């Protein structure tokens, strides 16, 4: 079901029109909502949501019956002159995920962005931009041409940036500007590479390009530039200066879109570039570099997350770590013939992206509800929230547990697939990172839950009643992420038969306990905050035994946090961008 260079699809296939609809429907929604304005913006969005869900479901249903990917030739012009839309298994999975997450966010945002009779700024912008992001992402998932993908990236960037500053505070405006400038820098690099590829091969169609491309220096330079640009847009460490303020400052619904979906857009284009356009070109060393940056992202993101005072910032840094996790699949997909293969590593990476999209959106929504209830989101003052907002906290916890890789979550299946690939390719070091990544995730989730669940004798003051719609939307997405491992993936992704996790049994118990216990230890050692159980006697006994270790842990944490501060300054981020581009180019040139 995946795009393959040998199969020439020079004609539109049955069901290809679904691909067109998945772009046209949200884009029509954008135009309609913009013209109608007033109280109709939300109405238009709610008309588009069921349609979009139906289109994504129909695509999922029709793809397994098709011989290969779904293809649609726009204007009936075949590539290279025309543009083709192609929907393979990866596209179908991402289309469905996006439809699901957008729908949940739409339900969540119903009350927060309720349009009044006279048009107001934030609801108008939010609903228009929500639909625009949907259209942009769908275009990215099915675009069969590198320039169409560029246009889709622009669409995505211009829809995402205003979401950051929806509340209009100076601080969020600054975050939005940072995001805009860095994302445009990424766009320019991507466009530069695209122009070089056209100059080399006279086409930008992904399938045609994959047949013509060869290991020429200019093609490698193009690949390095495009990858760097996309990494900047994905915020892979150390190109992450824009992510924490943007994702933490936006309103809850917007953060859920930005963290859950938007970063997956540029990530998906990296997959297309490396796996579909030039699977034989990057070489072993470049894949190792990507995964090394991913590992650094996991360590930095997780440790700095543990140092955050505010819950939203903690989740934003968690996104940083999870983005790093996504890049571990690149070396693991590298096989003996020197090509990136579409095997279980790719499936694992994509599943991880899907799990993160659902879980992280749920977590941001839950934190939004908690913030509204408390009027703040300081982690050390969460005590008692379990009683005041049980559903929100449950959604947060389920999302966190799903991310840790506890069976039967999608992240657990993804981890199994990646571990299997690591074993097959003999790259044990990435297996270590995979396991440690799960523990780091557990660490900050456990930290938050420990504060939230700690017994309290005084009841905390909360404002207003809980919104049931909001809680249900967050809970549904979190459950989705937690049960993703049970979905039959094999019609869409190369998931080998028999990897479906057993929910009950010794094995799954160990998979549950290992990350949680490891995470608890990490949280205790690395978090600088007073522990919620600090008053109990057993804790004091344990604490005195572990004091030197904890002191070392905190010193390490401080070092990591300081270096993160430096790396998030403009000069350092710019230098990082240049270094990444040069390193990628050098490694690719050396490999060919």
Partner 1 sequence: MSIATVFEIVLAAVVLGLAIWTIAVPETYSATVGFVAYGLLVALIWVRLDAVDVALTEAAIGGGLGGVLLLGAAARLRNADPTAVETPCKLVRLCAAALSSLIAAALVAAILLLPDPAPTLAPAAVAKAWATGLANPVTNVLMAFRAMDTMLEKVVLLLAIVGVWSLASDPAWGGRPGPRHEADPHGVLAFLARLLPSVGIVVGIYIFWTGADHPGGAFQGGAILASMWLLVVMAGLTDTPPVSSRRLRFILVAGPGLFLVVGIGGLCLGPAFLAYPLALAKPLILGIEVAMILTIAATLGLLLAGAPERSEQR
Does residue number 254 form part of the binding site for partner 1 (CB under 8 A)?
A: no
Instruction: Check residue 188 for interaction with partner 1 (CB under 8 A).
Output: no
| Binding region for partner 1 (CB under 8 A) out of 1-9, 118-126, 259-267, 347-355 | 118-126
Euclidean distance between CA atoms 413 and 218, whole angstroms = 38
The DSSP secondary structure of 112-158, one letter per residue, reads HT---SS--HHHHHHHHHHHHHHHHHHHHHHB-BHHHHHHHHHHHHH
Q: Which of 8, 218, 552, 559 binds partner 1 (CB under 8 A)?
A: 218
Q: Does 24 bind partner 1 (CB under 8 A)?
A: yes
* Binding of partner 1 by 40 (CB under 8 A): no
The Cα 163–Cα 155 span in angstroms is 13
* Six-digit token string for 81: 């002159």
Residue carrying structure tokens 């390095």: 224
CB of 577 to partner 1, least distance (A): 9
Among 5, 40, 110, 119, binds partner 1 (CB under 8 A): 119
SS3 assignment, position 272 = helix
Per CB under 8 A, does 31 bind partner 1?
yes
Closer to partner 1 by CB, 229 or 399: give it. 229
Place of tokens 């109280």: 39
Question: Which position among 56, 60, 99, 166 is part of the footprint of partner 1 (CB under 8 A)?
Answer: 166
Angle in degrees, 0-180, between the axes of helices 344-374 and 390-404, rounded to the nearest 10: 160
65 by Cβ neighbours in 10 Å (0-12 / 13-18 / 19+) ranks as exposed
Nearer to partner 1, 158 or 529 (CB): 158
Q: How many helices (H) and strands (E) does the chain have?
A: 23, 2
Radius of gyration over alpha carbons of the chain, in Å? 23
List 338, 574, 591, 592, residue binding partner 1 (CB under 8 A) = 574
Distances (CA, A) of 542 to 83, 114, 145, 430: 64, 51, 59, 32
In the shown chain, the binding pattern of residues 221 to 250 toward partner 1, with x for contact by CB under 8 A and - for none, equals xx----------------------------
Per CB under 8 A, 184 contacts partner 1: no
Identified binder of partner 1 from the candidate list 443, 447, 495, 585, rule CB under 8 A: 585
Is 326 within 8 Å of 356 (Cβ atoms)? yes
Q: Does 155 bind partner 1 (CB under 8 A)?
A: yes
Footprint on residues 365-404 left by partner 1 (CB under 8 A): none
Q: 3-class SS at 289?
A: helix
Q: Does 76 bind partner 1 (CB under 8 A)?
A: yes
Residue number, 112 or 343, with CB nearest to partner 1 = 112
Distance, CA of 192 to CA of 183 (rounded, Å): 14
342: contact with partner 1 by CB under 8 A: no
Among 2, 47, 58, 74, contact with partner 1 (rule: CB under 8 A): 74
From 2, 200, 419, 514, residue interacting with partner 1 (rule: CB under 8 A): 200
Q: How many residues bind partner 1 (CB under 8 A)?
A: 70
User: What would the two tokens of residue 441 be?
Assistant: 């995730």
Interatomic CA distance for residues 223 and 233, integer angstroms:
15
Q: Examine residue 291 and tell whether it contacts partner 1 (CB under 8 A).
A: no
Please state, in angstroms and rounded to a whole number, the distance separating the CA atoms of residues 90 and 347.
8
Q: Say how far apart CA 423 and CA 352 lie, in whole Å.
A: 18
| Region of 308 on the Ramachandran plot (φ > 0 left; ψ -120 to 50 alpha; else beta) | beta
Binding of partner 1 at residue 77 (CB under 8 A)?
yes
Q: Which stretch binds partner 1 (CB under 8 A): 191-199, 331-339, 412-420, 540-548?
A: 191-199
Which range binds partner 1 by CB under 8 A, 106-114, 132-140, 292-300, 481-489? 132-140
Q: Give the residue, chosen from 2, 43, 151, 453, that forms a contact with partner 1 under the rule CB under 8 A.
A: 151
Q: Which of 109, 129, 140, 588 is in the footprint of partner 1 by CB under 8 A?
A: 129
What is the C-alpha separation between 158 and 136, in angstroms, rounded?
Answer: 10
SS3 at position 340: strand
**Cα(166)–Cα(254) distance, integer angstroms:** 8
User: For partner 1, which residue of 75, 465, 488, 548 counts as binding (CB under 8 A)?
Assistant: 75
CB neighbourhood size of 528 (10 A): 13
Please compute, for residue 281, the number of CA atoms within 13 A of its CA located in the half-sphere on the CB side: 27
Is 170 or 506 the residue whose CB approaches partner 1 more closely? Answer: 170
Chain centroid to Cα 239, Å, comes to 15
Among 10, 61, 188, 578, binds partner 1 (CB under 8 A): 578
Options 91, 203, 210, 441; binder of partner 1; rule CB under 8 A: 203
Q: State the nearest-atom distance from the C-beta of 173 to partner 1, in Å.
A: 7
Binding region for partner 1 (CB under 8 A): 12, 17, 20, 23-24, 27-28, 30-31, 34-35, 37, 72-77, 80-83, 118-122, 124-125, 128-129, 132, 135, 139, 147-148, 151-152, 154-155, 158-159, 161-162, 165-166, 168, 173, 192, 196, 199-203, 216-218, 221-222, 570-572, 574-575, 578-579, 581-582, 585
């Amino acid at each position: 079901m995946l795009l393959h260079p040998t199969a020439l699809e020079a004609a539109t296939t049955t069901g290809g029109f679904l691909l067109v609809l998945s772009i046209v429907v949200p884009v029509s929604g954008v135009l309609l909502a913009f013209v109608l304005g007033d109280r109709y913006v939300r109405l238009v969005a709610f008309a588009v949501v069921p349609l979009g869900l139906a289109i994504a479901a129909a695509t999922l249903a029709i793809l397994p019956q098709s011989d290969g990917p779904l293809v649609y030739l726009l204007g009936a012009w075949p590539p290279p002159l025309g543009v083709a839309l192609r929907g393979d298994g990866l596209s179908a999975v991402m289309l469905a995920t996006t439809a699901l997450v957008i729908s949940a966010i739409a339900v969540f945002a119903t009350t927060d962005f309720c349009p009044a009779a006279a048009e107001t700024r934030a609801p108008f912008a939010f609903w228009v931009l929500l639909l625009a992001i949907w259209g942009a992402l769908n275009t990215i998932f099915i675009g069969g041409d590198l320039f169409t993908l560029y246009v889709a990236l622009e669409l995505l960037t211009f829809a995402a940036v205003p979401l950051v500053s929806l509340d209009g505070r100076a601080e969020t405006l600054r975050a939005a500007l940072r995001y805009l400038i860095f994302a445009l820098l990424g766009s320019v690099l991507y466009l530069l590479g695209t122009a070089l590829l056209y100059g080399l091969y006279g086409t930008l169609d992904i399938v045609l390009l994959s047949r013509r491309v060869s290991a020429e220096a200019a093609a490698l330079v193009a690949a390095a530039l495009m990858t760097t640009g996309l990494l900047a847009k994905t915020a892979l460490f150390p190109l992450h200066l824009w992510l924490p303020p943007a994702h933490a400052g936006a309103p809850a619904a917007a953060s859920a879109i930005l963290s859950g979906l938007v970063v997956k857009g540029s990530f998906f284009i990296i997959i297309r570039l490396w796996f579909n356009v030039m699977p034989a070109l990057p070489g072993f060393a470049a894949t190792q570099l990507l995964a090394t940056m991913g590992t650094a992202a996991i360590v930095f993101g997780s440790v700095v997350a543990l140092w955050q005072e505010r819950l939203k910032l903690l989740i934003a840094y968690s996104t940083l770590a999870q983005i790093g996790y996504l890049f571990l699949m690149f070396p693991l997909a590298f096989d003996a013939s020197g090509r990136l293969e579409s095997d279980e590593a790719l499936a694992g990476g994509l599943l991880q992206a899907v799990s993160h999209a659902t879980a992280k959106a749920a977590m941001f929504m839950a934190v939004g509800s908690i913030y509204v209830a408390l009027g703040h989101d300081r982690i050390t003052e969460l005590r008692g929230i379990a009683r005041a907002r049980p559903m929100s906290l449950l959604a947060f916890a389920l999302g966190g547990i799903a991310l840790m890789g506890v069976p039967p979550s999608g992240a657990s299946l993804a981890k199994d697939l990646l571990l299997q690939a690591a074993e097959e390719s003999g790259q044990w070091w990435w297996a270590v990172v995979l396991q440690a990544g799960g523990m780091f995730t557990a660490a900050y989730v456990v930290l938050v839950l420990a504060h939230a669940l700690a017994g309290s004798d005084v009841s905390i003051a909360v404002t207003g009643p809980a919104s049931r719609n909001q809680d249900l939307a967050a809970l549904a997405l979190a459950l989705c992420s937690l049960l993703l491992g049970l979905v039959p993936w094999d019609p869409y992704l190369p998931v080998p038969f028999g990897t479906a996790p057993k929910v009950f049994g010794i094995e799954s118990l160990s998979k549950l306990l290992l990350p949680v216990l490891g995470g608890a230890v990490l949280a205790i050692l690395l978090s600088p905050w007073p522990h919620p159980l600090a008053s109990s006697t057993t804790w004091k006994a344990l604490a005195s035994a572990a004091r030197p270790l904890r002191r070392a842990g905190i010193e390490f944490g401080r070092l990591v946090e300081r270096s993160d501060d430096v790396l998030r300054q403009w000069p350092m981020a710019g230098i990082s961008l240049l270094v990444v581009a040069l390193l990628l180019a050098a490694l690719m040139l050396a490999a060919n």
